[in-house]
Structure 1
């Protein structure tokens, strides 16, 4: 898991590469952690040509639904619109694990309200809350 703190008005999609480059997937046993997950699950905000091509170049499968306007645009272009991107609805159901984790983190008032003035303090509180959630049975 990786955490990147940005300004509140900043979108999530522009930070996609930064977050993905910070990921370290631990291996079973010894060895350095992998830097590429096998699959990425994202919501419709991450459905862009740039993100999909970035994932494709690295051999990472993407399970990202396509927004209706992108579907309509592709269909309007006819045979020049290309194939629709692959989408696995069964794998997409696992995305709720991350959403529930975010909702559990938002139960911490300081994290939900963003009362810290410095980003480094907010990231420290977020890391601490994540560790406590992970350690809690």
Structure 2
């Protein structure tokens, strides 16, 4: 976390309730709670759902393709199928 803070990268995943309770219990020794950006969390959720949809396509999930160009072509095909089904 310290490394991420030094680089200016904010927390995107919200803090768990038990971690927040432990932090409060420790008082000032518990440290500073990580900043939470709700908009970044929404965008992360959208990206993760898209990646999971793409991984449902067996060729992308298993990565059997030998070359990057064939893998990219499969990625484009999967994206077209997802887009057309929408």
| Class of the TM-score when normalised by the shorter of the 2 chains | 0.5 to 0.7
Q: How many residues align?
A: 80
Computing the radius of gyration from Cα coordinates, the structure with the larger value is 2
1:103, 1:125 → 2: CA distance?
21
Q: Does the alignment pair 1:73 with 2:22?
A: yes
Kindly state the Cα deviation for residue 108 of structure 1 after the two structures are TM-superposed. 0.9
1:126, 1:69 → 2: CA distance?
45
Q: Does the alignment pair 1:101 with 2:50?
A: yes
Match of 1:38 in 2: none
Match of 1:62 in 2: 11
Q: Cα RMSD between the aligned structures?
A: 3.3
1:71, 1:126 → 2: CA distance?
46
Kindly state the Cα deviation for residue 125 of structure 1 after the two structures are TM-superposed. 8.8
Runs of 4+ aligned structure 1 residues displaced above 6 Å come to none
- Structure 1, unaligned runs of 5 or more: 1-51
Kindly state the Cα deviation for residue 78 of structure 1 after the two structures are TM-superposed. 1.5
TM-score by length of 1: 0.44
Conserved 8 A contact 1:111-1:122: no
- Structure 2, unaligned runs of 5 or more: none
| Structure 1 or 2: more helix by fraction | 2
| Structure 1 or 2: more strand by fraction | 1
